[in-house]
Chains A and B, each alone.
Chain A
Amino acid sequence: MREITLSQAVNEALAEEMRRDPTTFIIGEDVAEAGTPFKVLSGLVEEFGTARVVDTPIAEPGFMGIAVGAAMTGARPIVDLMFGDFIFLIMDQLCNQAAKTHYMSGGRLSVPLVLRTNMGATRRSAAQHSQSLHALVAHIPGLKVAMPSSAYEAKGLMKTAIRENNPVVIFEDKLMYNDKAPVPEEEYLIPFGVANVLREGTDITLIGTSSMVQVCQKAAEILAAENISAEVIDPRTIVPLDEEGLLKSARKTSRVIVVDEGHQSYGVTAEIASRINEKAFYYLDAPVLRMGAMDVPIPFSPALEDITVPTPEGVAANARKLMSGEMIHAA
């Protein structure tokens, strides 16, 4: 099968869906001729024109608000938010308006829009261009949240997101834009709320999101060399969450580490760990461990930044502790 980059996969998904549905359009800063700073959208304005690939002023709340209104009246906007950190600028439009409109109107209005943005540290971009803020929006009922972990995932999840009748936020890891993966030429979609088991195992479950799926995969290889059999699961979407899929694995292996690049406190790892504790308690041989980003603003210095996010070695080390029973005694 051919291999393409995550960036190309997103671009293909957008082009296919824009050909399929004339009510779709892209809106954001430098999305047209510039194709965004990451060049994810290159070529789209040539095919679809400036009426459907719309460059905006640097006014995130403004273009987000316009997208909400457009979605409520028969269009399907795909909003490009240049950095995930800018989500703080659009919180009212996303969380008070887009997320609640269907509910507040008793189902009479809906907001079918996609907010494409990114996440991920270790790009030496410091505290305001490196955050992974998906937990903030996952907390708000009415929003769906997708976290692609490869080019294949990015394309399939994007196509589903665009066809969804709800506001969907997609977080792409900006360090993965040039990562290649096999992506079929034929059309496919990836359903929301169905976790993907990337590697089967029997001793421990590693649940990872976005780029942390790669971290878990590498950790599983390290552990395999030590005769520890790790299962790796990618939830794909954190809202809706494939709770049953994750529980099934937890019941099978009896040990779980949840790895996510958001800050550890009050985060995605806490939510997933808590659900497993509540619903698979008697199957567990050890406490469910959380591994998120450190609870510090992302530092600029490479020497500091690199230690703020989970690594394969770190995950493997924690897995060994769970296997040896060390964490049980610590608790």
Chain B
Amino acid sequence: MSPAKNTKTNSEEYLRMYTQMVRIRTFEDNANQLYLTAKMPGLTHMYSGEEAVAVGICEALTDDDKITSTHRGHGHCVAKGANFKQMFCELLGKEEGYCRGKGGSMHIADQSHGNLGANAIVGGSMGIATGAAFTAKLLGKDDVTVCFFGDGATAQGLMYEVMNMAALWNLPVIYACENNGYSEYTRTEEIAAGSITARAEAFGIEAHQVDGQDVLAVNTLAQKLVARARNGEGPFFIELMTYRYHGHHVGDINREYYRTKDEEKHWKEERDPITLFSAWLTKEGIATSEELDAISAGVKDDAKTAVEYALAAKYPDISEVDMHVYAPTDPASLTVGG
């Protein structure tokens, strides 16, 4: 692990980072179980293995800062402050979900914590993130936007169009590329020519590569870049080297045609972000392993309660089907002088 220097220096905050990573892993274990037992409609994409990325970055943000997320978005949603009950309700299409069941796994948005939403189009939110940063600059606010996307999205042209404009206009946006080694069912080296960070550098954007399994390294870098972006020095680009434990989606079980079980075993046993951080916390005397186990057990209980709640929760009334197609506009504002 990286040294603690320049990271959050108080143990409460380290433990919060640990808790948030465990919450993501636990959420995903439960979501996977819901899918495997056919209790969840549709499909979903697991974030397990990448927890240090979302947590390291989101712990450097405030609720006013924005993020855009991806189809593999549960981790970002939890890390930005969402609660289990509303998330599980959304995954199950229930009325109390964050989007009243209309979005599902691939469209969870949590505006109250600045999460502008997951996006089921690969690379589809890059414009949205850049636009959120544009608003901050236009209206003189100091919030920063982080755009999460995967290595697969680096193949989309939109990314280069918006990075060009973000650099021209010094927008407070951080492009966070989660390089988990696979673009759906294809190895990244087969779809990405040259260097990913060099692509950002070509626009004059300062780019960094960081170990995405090391939450302190991610958080240290994120804190520096967020502060600089807030100060008008953006945009920035980070490539976070990480790994996806599950397949592209929950149904992608037999994946030996694109990656070996040995490779998966290596990452899970040697490079797991939660295991690595637990070891550091105990070594530094911030917590004992018993204390960390107690945190994990508490999170598991929370998840169990939330899953049971969501399973029993109501579906939206069918009258909601054509609700929210259009946002209401105050009639008074549509009048002369209004």
Contact = CB atoms under 8 A, between A and B. Distances in A.
Interface of A: 23, 25, 51-52, 56-57, 59, 61-75, 77, 92-93, 96-97, 101-112, 141-142, 144, 160, 163-166, 186-189, 191
A97 B164 contact: no
Given A75-B139, A101-B117, A105-B103, A62 B134 contact: no
Interface stretch (B46-54, B55-63, B272-280, B325-333): B325-333
Interface in B282-338: 323-329, 333-338
A328 B134 CA distance: 58
Given A109-B116, A165-B327, A73 B131 contact: yes
26 contacts: A23-B139, A25-B138, A52-B138, A57-B168, A62-B127, A64-B127, A65-B126, A66-B127, A68-B128, A69-B131, A69-B134, A74-B139, A75-B138, A77-B131, A102-B326, A105-B98, A105-B103, A105-B324, A106-B97, A106-B98, A106-B102, A109-B111, A141-B325, A163-B329, A165-B329, A189-B336
Given A56-B165, A62-B164, A164-B329, 11 more contacts: A69-B116, A69-B145, A73-B132, A73-B136, A93-B124, A96-B124, A107-B327, A108-B98, A108-B99, A109-B109, A188-B336
User: 8 shortest A-B CB distances, which residue pairs?
Assistant: A65-B127, A69-B131, A62-B161, A106-B100, A69-B128, A106-B99, A59-B161, A110-B327
Contacts of A191: 334
A217 to B, nearest CB: 28
Nearest to A27: B134
Contacts of A64: 127
B109 to A, nearest CB: 4
A141 B253 CA distance: 36
Given A59-B164, A92-B121, A105-B117, A65 B131 contact: yes
A71 B139 CA distance: 12
Contacts of A141: 325
Contact of B127 (A23, A51, A61): A61
Contact of B102 (A23, A57, A104): A104
Nearest to B162: A62
Highest count of chain B CB atoms <10 Å: which of A67, A70, A109, A142: A70
Nearest to B328: A165
B317 to A, nearest CB: 13
A138 to B, nearest CB: 14
Nearest to A24: B138
Contacts of A106: 97-103, 324
B327 A187 contact: no
B117 A144 contact: no
Contact of B128 (A72, A142, A163, A187): A72
A103 B324 contact: yes
B30 to A, nearest CB: 22
Nearest to B163: A62
Nearest to A70: B131
A69 B162 CA distance: 11
B135 A73 contact: yes
B165 A189 contact: no
A65 B124 CA distance: 8
A105 B325 CA distance: 10
Contact of B107 (A104, A110, A164): A104
B131 A68 contact: yes
Interface in B89-140: 97-103, 107, 109, 111, 116-117, 119, 121, 124-136, 138-139
A239 to B, nearest CB: 9
A63 B145 CA distance: 17
Contacts of A92: 121, 124, 158
Interface in B169-195: none
